[in-house]
Amino acid sequence: MREAYHDQLGQLADQLADMCGMVGDAMERATTALLDADLALAEQVIGDDAKVDDVRASIEEQSYALLALQAPVATDLRTVLAVIHAAESVERMGDLALHVAKAARRRHPQQVLGEDVKPYFAEMGRIAVELAREATEVIRTQDVGRARLIEDADDAMDDLHRHLFTVIMDKDWPYGVASAVDTTLLGRFYERFADHAVSVAKRTVFVVTGRMPGYGDDSDV
């Protein structure tokens, strides 16, 4: 019985890691759709979002069953609670990739982004995908040192986001108000995606150490 119980805990972590990998793939496709005005990729991201939601629902159902039937304590309890909270963050990451894909679809066949800001979004997309993949490995390995390094990549995302805002606000911005609004919202989606990846890593540190690190932002999308 005890062995089966710990197998269930391991399966929860595996599902969470798989879910994190899914949203990383979604953001990679959404970024390509955004940069290349690729409608087919945008539609794929939009259609696959339900799969992320289904995994989160499964994780929550299993987690609450373990809480009710096994009454876990200490590290086991931390694991179940961390998985529940992390799954919420990962689902939001998927929603943010969905928002990017929907922006690409809404403007198709026109480009959403002006040429001057495309390089910023290419780099923000790269960092976002890297963060999701690092978070996936942190979940699998429970490597606290690796989890803390995720904050450095998040700092790079924050720097890009701040600089992007100065570009949009420049008096010589040539793309008009609608483009400025789209660019501002899209920048926020990437910045929040990174914040949620940090939150997932933070939950892993909590499982291992019993203490919640004081970095990152776990607020709503």
35-66, pLDDT tens digit by residue?
A: 999 999 999 999 999 999 999 999 999 999 99
79 in a domain, yes or no?
A: yes
pLDDT band at 2 (very low <50, low <70, confident <90, very high): low
147-156 mean pLDDT:
89
In which domain, by residue range, is 189 found? 2-209
Whether 218 is covered by a domain: the verdict is no
> Residue 35: how many CA atoms within 13 Å on its side-chain side?
17
Q: What CATH number does residue 17 fall under?
A: 1.20.58.220
Residue 221 lies in a domain: no
Specify the pTM.
0.92
Residue 215 in any domain: the answer is: no
pLDDT mean over 203-212: 88
* Whole-number pLDDT of residue 219: 42
User: Residue 219 domain-assigned?
Assistant: no
Tens of pLDDT along 169-203?
998 999 999 999 999 999 999 999 999 999 999 99
The pLDDT value given to residue 220: 42
Structurally, how many domains does the chain consist of?
A: 1
130 inside domain:
yes
Residue 176 to residue 166: CA distance in whole angstroms: 15
